[in-house]
């Protein structure tokens, strides 16, 4: 087996590209630029932490099935942690978004980082929505019958039926979590590859 043959292998190429783009020191850094010194930087990691709590509480709910929390005190408590971690998730995500906007965090080739963040936000809204309609209570009855009009108006209602509990639950616990986790993973990896955006140049606003 020649070296060139190994060089041409898909596996070799992928490993080399990945290692080149994201060496271990970048993936798990032990230093960061000195300008990273503000409380506004904690909201990204807070969003991630809230996502972890959302997923853990959701998995506990999944252990016992969609109707468990109506009849069990423990189930109801787990549902409460699911709700409040979602509130914290969106809270932190929106403050993170504001912070990154005012830093112009897309500068220096970070457009894709910004875009994956936005798409994660949109996917999270859909994930939250499918959760609301999967509650199997008055809330889900009302929210699903109201929101169907908006979704039907776009034509999406022909295949995305918000009144179909099974379909919504599947989206909520399979498709959208995978999407949210994959998008968040991409977003975080891009942040690690590109690094945190440096400040505007000191004379930037004088220059313009």
Partner 1 sequence: MGWIGSIIPLDNLGHYLHWHFILISVSNLIVIGLMIVTFVAALLLPFPGRSRRKENQ
Partner 2 sequence: MSKKAFRPDVDAPEWRGGYSPYDIIKEGTIAIVIVGLLTILLATFFGSPDERAITMKIWSNADPIDFAQTAISEMNGSSTTAGYGAPYNTASDGVQLGPLKIAKFMGVTIPINTVKDFIINPLKSWPNQPALNQDLATWSSASSSTQSGWVADYTKAAPNLKFVNGHIVAQTTNAGPVPALIDDLTQMAQSGALDQALVTGNGFYTTNYTKPLMFLADSGYLANLADKQHLTGSQWGMMNETGQYPGQAWLWLYTFWYQIPPFTTSSNADILVFAVMAVLSMALLFLPLIPGLRSIPRKSRVYRLIWREHYQG
Binding positions for partner 2, 1-20, rule CB under 8 A: none
Q: Given the rule CB under 8 A, which of 7-15, 16-24, 95-103, 190-198 is the region that contacts partner 1? A: 95-103
What is the 8-class DSSP label of residue 106? T
Give residue for tokens 């999967």: 134
Alpha carbon separation from 90 to 10, 58, 141, 193 (Å, rounded): 39, 16, 23, 25
165 near 134, Cβ under 8 Å?
A: yes
Binding flag, residue 125, partner 2 (CB under 8 A):
yes
Binding positions for partner 2, 72-101, rule CB under 8 A: 76-77, 79-85, 87-88, 90, 94, 99, 101
Binding flag, residue 99, partner 1 (CB under 8 A):
yes
Q: Given the rule CB under 8 A, which of 58-66, 93-101, 122-130, 196-204 is the region that contacts partner 1? A: 93-101
Q: Given the rule CB under 8 A, which of 9-17, 68-76, 134-142, 172-180 is the region that contacts partner 1? A: 68-76
Distance CA 193, CA 144 (A): 41
Least CB distance from residue 3 to partner 2, whole Å?
33
93 near 124, Cβ under 8 Å?
A: yes
Distance CA 22, CA 52 (A): 23
Least CB distance from residue 96 to partner 1, whole Å?
10
Q: Quick check: helix, strand or coil at residue 198?
A: coil
Least CB distance from residue 91 to partner 2, whole Å?
9
Least CB distance from residue 154 to partner 1, whole Å?
25
Rg of the chain over Cα atoms, rounded to whole angstroms, equals 21
**Beta carbons within 10 angstroms of residue 187's beta carbon:** 22
Least CB distance from residue 73 to partner 1, whole Å?
3
Binding positions for partner 2, 175-204, rule CB under 8 A: 195, 197-202, 204
């Amino acid at each position: 087996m020649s070296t060139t043959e190994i060089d041409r292998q898909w596996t070799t190429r992928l490993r080399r590209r990945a290692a080149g783009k994201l060496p271990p020191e970048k993936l798990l850094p032990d230093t960061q630029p000195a300008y990273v010194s503000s409380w506004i930087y904690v909201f990204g990691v807070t969003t991630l932490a809230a996502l972890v709590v959302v997923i853990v509480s959701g998995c506990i709910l999944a252990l016992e099935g969609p109707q468990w929390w109506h009849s069990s005190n423990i189930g109801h408590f787990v549902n409460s942690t699911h709700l409040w971690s979602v509130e914290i998730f969106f809270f932190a995500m929106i403050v993170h978004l504001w912070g990154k906007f005012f830093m112009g965090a897309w500068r220096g080739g970070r457009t894709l980082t910004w875009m994956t963040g936005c798409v994660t936000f949109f996917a999270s809204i859909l994930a939250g929505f499918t959760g609301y309609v999967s509650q199997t209570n008055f809330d889900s009855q009302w929210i699903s019958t109201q929101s169907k009009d908006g979704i039907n108006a776009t034509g999406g209602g022909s295949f995305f039926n918000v009144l179909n509990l099974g379909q919504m639950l599947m989206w909520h616990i399979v498709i959208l979590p995978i999407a949210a986790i994959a998008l968040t993973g991409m977003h975080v990896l891009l942040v690690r590859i590109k690094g945190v955006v440096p400040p505007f140049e000191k004379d930037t606003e004088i220059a313009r």
